[in-house]
Structure 1
Amino acid sequence: MPDSAAAPQASLSTLYRDHRSWLESWLRRRLGDSWEAADLAQDTFVRVLAAQHTQTLPSLREPRAYLLTVGKRLLVNHYQRRSLERAYLEALANLPQALAPSPEQRWLLLETLHALDELLDGLPRAVRQAFLWSQLEGIDYSTIGERLGVSERTVKRYMAKAYEHCLLVDL
């Protein structure tokens, strides 16, 4: 292995060894669950590894601050995901038994919702809302504009931005 490839691997190993337990403890205090904290800590280091492979990992003068930033983002995503799951389960509970999906269908729907949420992550709230109303509920642009308090032209810009975001996320 060339020295240039060994150095980042060694620094990641050192970063993991020196700071994993600290990060996991920080996450455990916020989550109140050691298993979820361990998962999120591991996900944090997976993100660091991915950043390292795409050459975007900065030189870490303050490794805990960097890990905390990545960990906080994952924590926010975790809470958003949990909120999405609760809303989905509440909607299912309100369905008549005859219309309720099977456990397999529920799982597939929940996974689809998570994928959609992750796909739209990073878009401004109004853009996300316009996109979801249009695509999931079939609401026309003028009605969306009224709901959001913006012009139809702005809704068209929102939709263009959302479509562009969706296309670029896959790249």
Structure 2
Amino acid sequence: MAAAEPSVALDGIFRLHHDWLRRWLRPQMTHAHLAEDIAAETMLRLITIAARQTIVEPRAVMTVIARRLMSDLRAKDIVRLQYAAAVAHLPPALEPSAEDRLIILEALRRIERVLRPVSAKARTAFLLSQIDGLRHAEIAERLGISVSMTRKHIAAVMQRCYQEFQDDE
């Protein structure tokens, strides 16, 4: 294969499918600019994939990528709204500054990203341990699992958190 072929194939995919992708996204998004942003990010990710492998069904790949991006966007919105609701109840003297809010929101997004692929029981065990301060035996009873399984779940999530946040130090 000639070296120019992948870029020609990507150009063809872009020309044939980018408008389709934007039209497909628009009804699913609250704002047209979000559909444009997701379409652009989808194309960037498609280029990354195409550099490693041949894309046989571009629209199927683009749909999967776009759905994941929309899911990520919705998860970020949920975290932002939940944080805003929690902060709204604080007295003015305890309200975090705008900078602190951004730092907290980014940390919450990262935690959400870490917890998203984890099983529901592992995620619940971790949150009950870290946020509610429950002991392993209490968590095990509440979830209907053994104490050793509770420890394994919490340890696995802690390991994921450590890997995510180790570069910050």
Shorter-chain TM-score above 0.5: yes
Select the residue among 117, 122, 125 that pairs with 1:127.
122
CA shift digits 1:15-64 (9 cap, x unpaired): 222212211221111113111111111221222233345x3x4x322211
**1:124 Cα deviation after fit:** 1.7
In 1, the alpha carbon distance for the partners of 2:56 and 2:64 equals 14
Q: Identity over aligned residues, as a percent?
A: 31
Matched residue, 2:2? 3
Let me know the Cα RMSD of the aligned residues.
2.4
Matched residue, 1:31? 29
Select the residue among 40, 43, 52 that pairs with 1:42.
40
In 2, the alpha carbon distance for the partners of 1:106 and 1:157 equals 33
Matched residue, 2:139? 144
Q: What amino acid is aligned across from residue 35 of structure 1 in structure 2?
A: H
Shift in CA distance, 101/129, structure 1 to aligned 2, threshold 3 Å: same
Matched residue, 2:12? 14
Between the two proteins, the alignment pairs up a number of residues equal to 165
CA shift digits 1:103-144 (9 cap, x unpaired): 111111111111222233322222223223334454332232
Q: What amino acid is aligned across from residue 123 of structure 1 in structure 2?
A: V
Matched residue, 2:152? 157
Matched residue, 1:95? 90
In 2, the alpha carbon distance for the partners of 1:156 and 1:44 equals 39
Q: What amino acid is aligned across from residue 3 of structure 1 in structure 2?
A: A
Q: Structure 2 stretches of 5 or more lacking a match? A: none
Q: Structure 1 stretches of 5 or more lacking a match? A: none
Q: Secondary structure at the match of 2:56?
A: coil
Q: Secondary structure at the match of 1:3?
A: coil
Matched residue, 2:111? 116
